[in-house]
Amino acid sequence: MKFAEQLEQIVKARIEKDSLTLPALPAVAFKSLELTRATDFNMNDVASLIEKDPVLAAQVLKLCNSAAMATREPCKSISQAVTRLGSKNLRSVLLEISARRIFESRDAKVAATVKALWEHSRAVAQLAQRVAVVSGASDPDTAYLAGLLHDLGKPVVATMLLEAESQIAQRNPKLWIDFPTWIDVVQRCHRPIGLDLARKWQLPEEIQKAIEECADYDPANRLSTGNAVRFANAVAKQQGIYAGSVNADDNDALVMVGRSLLGIDDETLTRLSSDLKEKSKEAA
């Protein structure tokens, strides 16, 4: 059995045995999300909690004052940011920050790849949101979050593969896999892990579905979040905003079907996606 196949078997076996240690949400983010799920939560309680994690607090302020969220006056305190964002946007911001942490690696071999995967996720998020606005597909903010999290399992598998590779390589230093093979294994294994992670993080059902199904559109529910994400994913790949191999024919078919399914004409698609590459870099 080839080394890459061995690694894939190891990953799949761990998935089947459910013996994976999936990354947890940062403790403060998890507790804050828990608080915001209550209908009558107190904004001050959430703000006090976030302030306990200075890195998280700084990231919340940064996102709150970013072009996408900012209002007239920049937010200067967490309490102000939490009030201004509101519960729905605050949840999105906390999840975005938590996901971003998963797409970071100190290992030189995977750092560039997970960064590229994050850029891809940001591009898919931006386009899915725009597609939702134009087509009326679901809620644009949900589409954004679903786009951002659709590949959540990939960095987890990437890290896991790296660990398995290093363990085996200790016994047999001659064994190694090249990058295209390595990323192919990640592509083949990531979806169930992403879904497990989405469940563990208690992501909304719509986002779990978007992570779960990606090969084909759901024609019965044309304007679903999942369809918007699938389409955005294919367009981002078509533009080369991706890390990994792409079956160009299948991908072109996904774009062609998606345009009709979501009612996006050529001119609109060009308008919505012309700055995608730039935006994904900017955001990353």
Site map 5..24 versus other proteins, x via CB under 8 A: --------------------
Residue 136 interacting with other proteins (CB under 8 A): yes
Q: Which of 60, 61, 261, 276 binds other proteins (CB under 8 A)?
A: 261
> Which alpha helices (DSSP H) does 150-178 contain, by range?
153-171
Residue 215 interacting with other proteins (CB under 8 A): yes
Q: Which of 51, 206, 212, 252 binds other proteins (CB under 8 A)?
A: 252
Residue 270 interacting with other proteins (CB under 8 A): no
- Please name the amino acid found at residue 224: S
Burial 102-129 (b: 16+ CB within 10 A, else e): bbebeeeebeebbbbbbbbbbbbbbbbb
Task: Quote helix, strand, coil % in the chain, to nearest 5.
Answer: 75, 0, 25
Q: Which of 24, 55, 58, 256 binds other proteins (CB under 8 A)?
A: 256
Residue 39 interacting with other proteins (CB under 8 A): no
The C-alpha torsion from 78 through 24 and 159 to 104, rounded to 10°, is 0
Nearest-approach distance from CB 59 to other proteins, in angstroms: 19
Residue 178, helix vs strand vs coil: coil
Residue 232 interacting with other proteins (CB under 8 A): no
Site map 144..183 versus other proteins, x via CB under 8 A: ----------------------------------------
Residue 272 interacting with other proteins (CB under 8 A): yes
Q: 265, exposed or middle or buried, with CB in 10 Å at 0-12, 13-18, 19+?
A: exposed
Residue 282 interacting with other proteins (CB under 8 A): no
- Please name the amino acid found at residue 32: S
Round to whole Å and give the CA distance between 45 and 76.
18
Residue 250 interacting with other proteins (CB under 8 A): yes
Residue 219 interacting with other proteins (CB under 8 A): yes
Of 96-104, 112-120, 152-160, 210-218, the window that binds other proteins (rule: CB under 8 A) is 210-218
Length of the chain in terms of residues written: 284
Q: What DSSP string describes 21-62?
A: -PPPPPHHHHHHHHHHHSTT--HHHHHHHHHTSHHHHHHHHH
Instruction: Report the residue number, 212 or 252, with the smaller CB distance to other proteins.
Output: 252
Residue 69 interacting with other proteins (CB under 8 A): yes
Q: Which residues lie near other proteins (CB under 8 A)?
A: 67-72, 86, 89, 130, 133-134, 136, 140, 215-217, 219, 249-250, 252-254, 256-257, 259-261, 263, 265-266, 271-272
